[in-house]
Copies of this chain bind each other. A is one copy, B any other.
Amino acid sequence: MITLSYALLGLLARQPLSGYDLAQYMKKRVAPMWSALPSQIYPELARLEKQGMVTYRVVEQQDHRPDKKVYEITETGREALRRWVIEPTPVAAVRDEFVLKAYSLWLAEPEQAIPHFREQERLHRQQQAQHEETLERLQREWRTALEQKDSPLFGSSLALHYGIAYERSYADWCQWAINELERHRSTPEEES
Residues of A within 8 A of B (CB): 3, 6-7, 9-10, 13, 30-35, 78, 81-82, 84-110, 112-113, 116, 119-120, 123-124, 127, 147-156, 158-159, 161-162, 165-166, 168-170, 172-173, 176-177, 180-181, 184-185, 187
> A102, B162: Cβ atoms under 8 Å?
yes
Residues of B within 8 A of A119 (CB): 88
> B103, A158: Cβ atoms under 8 Å?
yes
> B165, A100: Cβ atoms under 8 Å?
no
Residues of B within 8 A of A116 (CB): 86, 88-89
> B158, A165: Cβ atoms under 8 Å?
no
Partner of A96, one of B92, B106, B108: B92
| Cα–Cα, bound, A151→B180 (Å) | 14
Partner of A82, one of B3, B89, B108, B155: B108
Contacts A34-B95, A85-B101, A100-B34; is A106 near B150 (CB within 8 Å)? yes
Partner of A102, one of B88, B104, B155, B184: B155
> A91, B151: Cβ atoms under 8 Å?
no
Residues of B within 8 A of A88 (CB): 116, 119
Sample (20) of A-B pairs whose CB atoms are under 8 Å apart: A6-B101, A10-B100, A34-B95, A34-B96, A78-B107, A81-B104, A81-B107, A85-B105, A85-B107, A91-B120, A92-B95, A92-B96, A95-B95, A99-B162, A102-B159, A105-B158, A106-B150, A106-B154, A106-B155, A149-B181
Partner of A172, one of B31, B97, B148, B165: B165
> B97, A3: Cβ atoms under 8 Å?
yes
Contacts A10-B100, A85-B107, A103-B158; is A173 near B177 (CB within 8 Å)? no
Partner of A107, one of B13, B33, B101, B147: B13
